Chain A
């Protein structure tokens, strides 16, 4: 029996930087984008979710304490409030720096009855990491996730914005090989995509 899926470990809370250590690292483009996103809502607080996605892109896929502090600073909210939001949602990588590619294996109901655990076990063996861990070369993070709502393709796996399924062991081999050779980080790319779909063409 698998251990319970731990979404967010309380011992791995992002460390809050001291006020004097606050460094603003958003690129010029990022500053423009967060201002455009703010204009979508009547309050700055509402921009916390889009702002965190933006920070996830700007900080290389990891919402560290610095990243959260910068979002809090730019939206004029407290660090604790933004951290509370960031740690609630499973797609924000607050616990530790993820690998270049996050392999999300669905083990929810429909995949569960279609052999998802076998695929999970195969990936655990192949990559040598368990749920929530990252390979030592910083390439892959493995995550068991709840329903990806691709039940027609169960068992399903998501990497970045791509869905794969129904997956077999050979397909997983090919997928990992393909990802190993790709230069771009799908984790950062995904955050970049999330930011860009929220902005109208020509808005920034």
Chain B
């Protein structure tokens, strides 16, 4: 299997960013088809297609689409989570910049299906190019009556607004994003079962459909080509359907976004990205910094799929795939990862706010050569006390990389503590000394 370009088929074509070019490649046929379909039929198609949320958790999308109230008693909202912040991920950036109409059409289909009135595209504050591309596309869509009042004479009204974030990783978490959209500090809220799902009570306590950019962008293809066709992609996997865009970076020759069908071996992704540079492959983080690291041997046997990745004790996550060569210092890497979560912790709950800080301090003293015997056990203890005990998944995401690094490369930690320096000569990998 090689690259399978579904969402990114026309991403290199500048015309695809204009309405004219989008229509020329068959754009908006899905929306027209959707308007002739029953709302429940579209929900059924999403279910039969087996689409799963592409933001990281991989929950079945139909739970959200089908969970929205069938009878409209109040405003329904749609939100697109374009607050991509996961280190190693830049797929939404490309989708926003190069394929804005896919997102807009997908959200409009969503708006029709769940009877939404207004949609908000929450774009990360740093993504100005993406925001400008989406703004241009929105203006064109409004001018062509593809958004606004009485879309294409169907009697459907749907508005889309851009809401810019202001630099907070935590706002990528869906309840924190809704807090931020409502004008608060980006802190998470209670989740099911302590509170209702967003489809029952989301933003402004109204039913809300919230998805990642990539998830919405898949909707036009499901409506257009049918659920059966979509479900045939990735049929070799247990429960993952369609394609997934991976942002490949790290020590590879050709970093970039590569879209592959589920069921593709992870090794092929590395080959698509031109192989490892600067030495042999040492490790890989397949799905963004939050997911556990795997060894080179695991890269050879890993299959891309939500369940299949579990066999090598990792996850698909958001698709931020980083490869490391043999000169990478994994202890320092664990330190930098912990520092990220410590900086981005919103401070709401104690395990995450305090725990991430402790992880950084312990890892920092190991990296400085002041590690003490028993520090590895202490790290494990602190990390396992964050894992599963924090208010939102940020705490889990902080603990997993550290626990995985200790599990996969225990000898590096032991060497560091015993000798006060790294067992890896990291100069050739351009690992700067912080």
Contact = CB atoms under 8 A, between A and B. Distances in A.
A49 B263 CA distance: 42
A5 B364 CA distance: 13
A194 B126 contact: no
A193 B125 CA distance: 11
A36 to B, nearest CB: 11
B186 A4 contact: no
Given A91-B126, A190-B128, A193-B128, A42 B75 contact: yes
B125 A89 contact: yes
A158 interface: yes
A163 B339 CA distance: 23
B186 A89 contact: yes
A171 interface: no
B88 A151 contact: yes
Given A49-B164, A89-B165, A147-B87, A154 B367 contact: no
A84 B333 CA distance: 33
Nearest to A150: B90
Identify which of A120, A145, A201 gathers the most chain B CB atoms within 10 Å of its CB: A201
Contacts of A163: 129
A92 B167 CA distance: 8
A148 B174 CA distance: 20
A153 B86 CA distance: 16
A6 to B, nearest CB: 9
Contacts of B185: 84-85, 88
B368 A1 contact: yes
Contacts of B344: 146
B163 A198 contact: yes
A52 interface: yes
B336 interface: yes
B430 A114 contact: yes
B139 interface: yes
A7 to B, nearest CB: 6
A66 B84 CA distance: 32
Interface stretch (B194-202, B249-257, B300-308): B249-257
- Chain B at the A interface: SS class: mixed
Interface in A111-125: 112-121
B378 interface: no
A45 interface: yes
Interface string B111-149: 000000000000011111101101100110010000000
A78 interface: no
Contact of B166 (A47, A91, A117, A201): A91
Interface string B251-270: 10001110000000000000
B169 interface: yes
A110 B163 contact: no
B229 interface: no
Interface string A86-120: 00111110000000000000011110111111111
A183 interface: no
Contacts of B343: 4-5, 7, 146
A43 interface: yes
Interface in B176-220: 180-186, 204
Contacts of A160: 128
A149 interface: yes
A19 B431 CA distance: 52
A109 B431 CA distance: 11
Nearest to B159: A40
B433 interface: yes
B88 A110 contact: yes
Contact of A117 (B88, B184, B432): B432
A152 B204 contact: no
Contact of A146 (B87, B367, B431, B434): B87
A40 B77 CA distance: 12
B139 A49 contact: no
Contacts of A42: 75, 204
Interface in A145-204: 145-154, 158, 160-161, 163, 190, 193-194, 196-198, 200-201
B125 A151 contact: no
Given A109-B340, A152-B256, A158-B126, A40 B89 contact: no
A151 B166 contact: no
B126 A113 contact: no
A122 B265 CA distance: 40
Given A1-B368, A46-B182, A151-B249, A113 B289 contact: no
Nearest to A154: B249
Interface in B306-325: 320, 322, 324
B322 A197 contact: no
Given A88-B168, A149-B85, A200-B138, 14 more contacts: A4-B342, A49-B165, A89-B166, A112-B434, A113-B251, A113-B431, A147-B88, A149-B126, A149-B127, A151-B247, A152-B256, A161-B128, A197-B164, A201-B142
30 contacts: A1-B368, A40-B161, A48-B184, A49-B166, A50-B163, A85-B183, A89-B125, A89-B168, A90-B168, A91-B125, A109-B289, A109-B333, A112-B336, A112-B431, A112-B432, A112-B434, A113-B251, A113-B328, A121-B432, A145-B167, A146-B343, A149-B85, A149-B124, A151-B89, A152-B247, A160-B128, A194-B128, A197-B131, A198-B164, A201-B139
Interface of A: 1-2, 4-5, 7, 40-43, 45-50, 52-53, 84-85, 88-92, 107-110, 112-121, 145-154, 158, 160-161, 163, 190, 193-194, 196-198, 200-201
